[in-house]
Amino acid sequence: MTAPTPDSPPTLQVLHEVFGYAEFRGDQREIVEHVVAGGDALVLMPTGGGKSLCYQVPAIVRHRAGQGVTVVVSPLIALMHDQVGALGELGVPAAFLNSSLDAETARQVERDLLAGRLQLLYAAPERLLTPRFLAMLDSLRERGLLSLFAIDEAHCVSQWGHDFREEYLGLSVLHERFAGVPRLALTATADDHTRADIIARLQLEDARLFVASFDRPNIRYTIVEKDEPKKQLLRFIRDEHDGDAGIVYCQSRKKVEDTAAWLNDEGVAALPYHAGLDAEVRRRHQDRFLREDGIVMVATIAFGMGIDKPDVRFVAHLDLPKTIESYYQETGRAGRDGAAADAWMTYGLADVVNQRRMIDDGEAAEDFKRLQRGKLDALLALAEGHGCRRVRLLDYFGQPSQACGNCDNCLQPPATWDATEAARKALSCIYRFHQNGGQRFGAVHLIDVLRGKATDKVAQHGHTELSTYGIGADVSEAQWRSVLRQLVALGHLHTEGEFNTLALSASAREVLRGDIQLLLRQASESPKRGKSARGGRAARDKPPPLPLDDAGLLRFTALKAWRGEVGRSHNVPAYVVFHDATLAEMARECPQSLDALAAISGVGAKKLEAYGQEILRVLSSA
Ligand code: ADP
Ligand code: ZN
């Protein structure tokens, strides 16, 4: 890392000196400079893109220039706690005010705040909106010591998302009461609806909009057909993520419990997390996930917001998320450190059926349901598509791109087959059922009839007499399932009632007429993932970024053990002390002096001073 010169801009000096990073990433530099100069901004950046630096660097620069404190509005206590802990390690005076503090500590924080000692103060919106807090802000403002408002997770102001927080609506007060104090709103949710809501509700009409690239190139996307999902998951973890930290998302609490228990039986260290667990158990599980190496968290979507553990190596979905936004936000929790990571999902007909059902049976107004259906369709198109997954994802966020070479479809282009004829057969068979007594049937029965399997049920309903009986014997069961799933996904078929019987939608007519061609993924009879299919993990760029020779590995292990102790004694997660990537670079370069150590990415001035000598000692004795 090149040392900053006295005439580097102050933003870059802070990045080097405080954070120990060589360069800004992507749009960070432009955002930071705009905010330091006093501009308002709305920043859309994917999870893991580096949003925190966008307000932390301006906060430090502006405080050094005598402009006072930055107030960060954040919805989650755990997040505030981690961020303040990390800033403490960097030597930046920061604190939070929330309900977890005892009265005496809270008063001390208030004294520090009013005296202008803090560079950043984190607070939940409900706290910020209290008369007491607003009065303190008034006092700071009058003395020119209120520098900046950063509104994190700004999508919480929008009712369209699932993270809506009533208290966020009150934040319009910032603009009204503290006009002239710059405001920076940040979110990873990028759809137009949410964006418009944020701008309107926070009165950010004049703010500059920064839309970062939503690409997360280090994440590999894979979507497999559901076969035996738990076994598929286990194989995926064993083959590619043995000993890694990861998150497995399930829809129901019960499935979370079952899956976690099963993984443990199979020797994978897994913990459950869902809103039905005792708060204390949840806290303990989250804590272990953050602090220990290699824990797999099996969770509902109640887990994740505000988890900025950088070394989550995979995010697996056993159930389909609701929208591409949720999928992207959840998968974005993998690989924040920039090293290779996986987003892996299994998906089947039941997922499609369940999601459609949840929308149809929901309490929401019809226009909201229509919006939800549209979002589900986009996600299904992603799951069924045979083109590059990343191209489709980025396209959804309005960003054109080229085939990525790092998703399942790029790495192993799926065979396709023309299923137009098969689809017509299936639809006309359903039509015949209906003509023949008005009854509806589910997928299993339909496939039996198409394949000419004379089960009792088939005989009982006289379906051996149908003209469609046995017309699809040449198509395998798995292929039929894929045809039906994709017909449901595309909306030509839908399901009804508690038995999920199949019914034709209006657009089925076009398929029946042959106006719509269906090119489908070839259903694989047995999942062909695993080592041979992907070249195994050796082919991957795994962290720590190897190659480390044997001596280097020894040093890395010694550094990790040292880091674990420091983390425990400072009561912060290990990655707050140093990231894996930083330790790996130390192990590889084996610096012999403090100057050489300072050149390693992630080593800022404070950490050099606090830990430099110890690290040199650990390195020399490993
Ligand atoms: P977000 O809040 O957007 O999800 P974070 O702010 O948590 O992302 O940043 C993700 C990770 O990237 C963090 O571990 C952070 O330290 C690291 N990071 C951010 N900016 C840089 C940079 N310019 N150089 C190196 N690492 C960075
Ligand atoms: Zn691709």
Number of Cα atoms under 13 Å in the Cβ half of residue 245: 22
Could you give the 3-state DSSP secondary structure of residue 54?
helix
The identity of residue 145, as a single letter, is: L
CA 292 to chain centre: 20
pLDDT of residue 219: 96
Q: Which of 14, 17, 24, 25 to mutate to test ligand 1, by most ligand atoms within 8 A of the CB atom?
A: 25
The answer to whether the CB of 531 is under 6 A from ligand 1 is no
- Weakly modelled stretches of the chain, pLDDT under 50: 525-544
The answer to whether the CB of 53 is under 6 A from ligand 1 is yes
Q: What is the pLDDT of residues 57-108, one digit of tens each?
A: 999 999 999 999 999 999 888 788 889 999 999 999 999 998 888 999 999 9
- What percent of the chain is helix, strand and coil (3-state, nearest 5)? 50, 10, 40
Ligand 1 atom nearest 19 alpha carbon: 16
pLDDT of residue 161: 65
Q: What is the pLDDT of residues 569-589, one digit of tens each?
A: 888 888 889 988 899 899 999
Nearest one of 515, 355, 371, 500 to 441, comparing CA atoms: 500
The answer to whether the CB of 51 is under 6 A from ligand 1 is yes
CA 411 to chain centre: 22
pLDDT of residue 542: 40
- Ligand 1: residue whose CA is nearest its atom 26: 21
Give 161 Cα–ligand 1 centroid separation in angstroms.
24
Residue-level length of the chain: 622
pTM of this structure? 0.79
CB 229 within 8 A of CB 298: no
Euclidean distance between the first and the last CA atom of the chain, given in angstroms as a whole number: 25
Ligand sitting nearest the alpha carbon of 387:
2
Residue 486 CA to residue 451 CA, distance in Å, equals 18
pLDDT of residue 528: 41
Q: Which of 1, 45, 53 to mutate to test ligand 1, by most ligand atoms within 8 A of the CB atom?
A: 53
pLDDT of residue 162: 66
Residue 110 CA to residue 96 CA, distance in Å, equals 10
The answer to whether the CB of 335 is under 6 A from ligand 1 is no
- The DSSP letter of residue 452 is T
- Ligand 1: residue whose CA is nearest its atom 24: 21
Structural domains for the chain: 10-211 (3.40.50.300), 219-411 (3.40.50.300), 416-521 (1.10.10.10), 550-621 (1.10.150.80)
Across 127-174, where does the E strand assignment appear? 146-151
CB 382 within 8 A of CB 324: yes
Rg (alpha carbons) of the chain, rounded to whole number: 27
Phi and psi at residue 124, to the nearest 5°: -75, 150
Q: Which of 1, 15, 21 to mutate to test ligand 1, by most ligand atoms within 8 A of the CB atom?
A: 21
Give 216 Cα–ligand 1 centroid separation in angstroms.
12
